[in-house]
């Protein structure tokens, strides 16, 4: 795998999981991993377009971590966005990875750069992360905590891969 400079988090509607992942990764980049991630770009998108703003649960959880996302704008994935990525991290095989590969089968190299987030982070069991949209706050937060932990592991892996 070539150096990873552009990372896209992809979920269904770009309102819960992927914006959380994007802004948490950016926060880590600005605080803990300043040197290691200085030339990395994080972004997020959805397979579909549902809402313009992130869900309240995502905003609240990020705010509890000291992360603001005032400049967020939901967006759909498209050819240009995919072509410009070195790594695309998804949350569900059926609804994200398969749909992305089917919808954009005309683009090359998808198999080399599209992964489930937990798979890329090194997990081997229970590697899908459910959509927290309809969950109660406590369960919603558990989903975001899984993403948070996986992002840290993924960033560590990206740093190692980029050293090679």
Using the structure block, give the residue that is written with the tokens 């994007």: 22
- Looking at the chain, the number of H-run helices and the number of E-run strands are 7, 4
The structural domains of the chain, with segments of one domain joined by +, span: 6-163
The whole-number mean pLDDT for each consecutive block of 10 residues of the chain, a chain of 164 residues, reads: 92 96 97 95 92 91 95 94 97 96 94 97 97 95 98 97 93
What pLDDT is stored for residue 34 in this prediction? Answer: 95
Strand positions, DSSP E, 72-142: 87-90, 114-116
The 3-state DSSP class for residue 87 equals strand
Candidates 3.90.550.10, 2.60.40.10, 3.90.1300.10, 3.40.50.2300; correct CATH number of 6-163? 3.40.50.2300
pTM (predicted TM-score) = 0.96
Task: State phi, psi for 127 to the nearest 5 degrees.
Answer: -95, 10
């Amino acid at each position: 795998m070539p150096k990873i400079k552009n990372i896209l988090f992809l979920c269904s509607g770009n309102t819960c999981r992927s914006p959380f992942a994007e802004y948490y990764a950016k926060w880590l980049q600005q605080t803990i991993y300043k040197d290691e991630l200085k030339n990395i770009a994080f972004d997020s998108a959805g397979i579909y377009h549902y809402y313009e703003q992130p869900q309240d649960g995502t905003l609240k959880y990020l705010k509890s971590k000291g992360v603001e996302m005032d400049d967020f704008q939901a967006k759909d994935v498209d050819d240009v966005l995919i072509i410009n990525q070195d790594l695309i991290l998804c949350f569900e095989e059926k609804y994200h990875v398969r749909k992305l590969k089917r919808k954009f089968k005309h683009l090359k190299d998808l198999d080399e750069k599209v992964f489930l987030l937990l798979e890329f982070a090194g997990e081997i069991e229970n590697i899908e992360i459910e959509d927290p949209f309809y969950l109660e706050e406590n369960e919603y937060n558990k989903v975001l905590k899984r993403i948070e932990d996986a992002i840290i592991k993924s960033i560590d892996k990206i740093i190692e891969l980029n050293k090679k």
